[in-house]
């Protein structure tokens, strides 16, 4: 069984599922969190911020050619509704420019 570590230290929230003949079955769960779980808080979650391959491809010109990270952040928010950070933009630029170098 694989597990995914929480980005929050010592958060005990988890659930276990098993695939059975009729489909997935929840075997156990613990819904106690040691951090906020509101929708406004979850906007900051890396899984929520992550762009799909298609979104990245569509936004590639903006990501690579806008000088200001703030412009990129605003453009991504307008087009996808996702709130990314300056660190996300830096990472996407590095990945996309590496992809361009290796595909040439």
Give the pLDDT confidence score for residue 102 in this predicted structure: 59
Total structural domains within the chain: 1
**Looking at the domain assignment, is residue 73 inside a domain?**
yes
Give the pLDDT confidence score for residue 97 in this predicted structure: 84
Residue spans of the chain under pLDDT 50: 1
**Looking at the domain assignment, is residue 30 inside a domain?**
no
**Looking at the domain assignment, is residue 20 inside a domain?**
no
What contacts 24+ positions apart, CB below 8 Å, involve 11-20?
11/35
∠70-75-79 over CA atoms, to 5°?
150
Give the pLDDT confidence score for residue 6 in this predicted structure: 55
Give the pLDDT confidence score for residue 101 in this predicted structure: 59
- φ and ψ of 53, to 5 deg: -60, -40
Give the pLDDT confidence score for residue 24 in this predicted structure: 95
Give the pLDDT confidence score for residue 100 in this predicted structure: 64
**How is the chain split among helix, strand and coil, in percent rounded to 5?**
50, 15, 35
Domain that holds residue 92: 46-103
């Amino acid at each position: 069984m694989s597990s995914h570590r929480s980005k929050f230290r010592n958060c005990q929230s988890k659930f276990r599922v098993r695939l059975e003949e009729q489909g997935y079955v929840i075997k156990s769960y613990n819904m106690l969190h040691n951090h906020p779980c509101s929708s406004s808080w979850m906007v900051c979650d890396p899984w929520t911020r992550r762009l799909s391959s298609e979104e990245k491809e569509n936004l590639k010109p903006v990501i690579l050619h806008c000088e200001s990270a703030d412009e990129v952040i605003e453009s991504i928010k307008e087009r996808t509704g996702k709130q990314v950070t300056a660190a996300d933009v830096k990472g996407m630029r590095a990945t996309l420019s590496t992809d361009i170098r290796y595909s040439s």
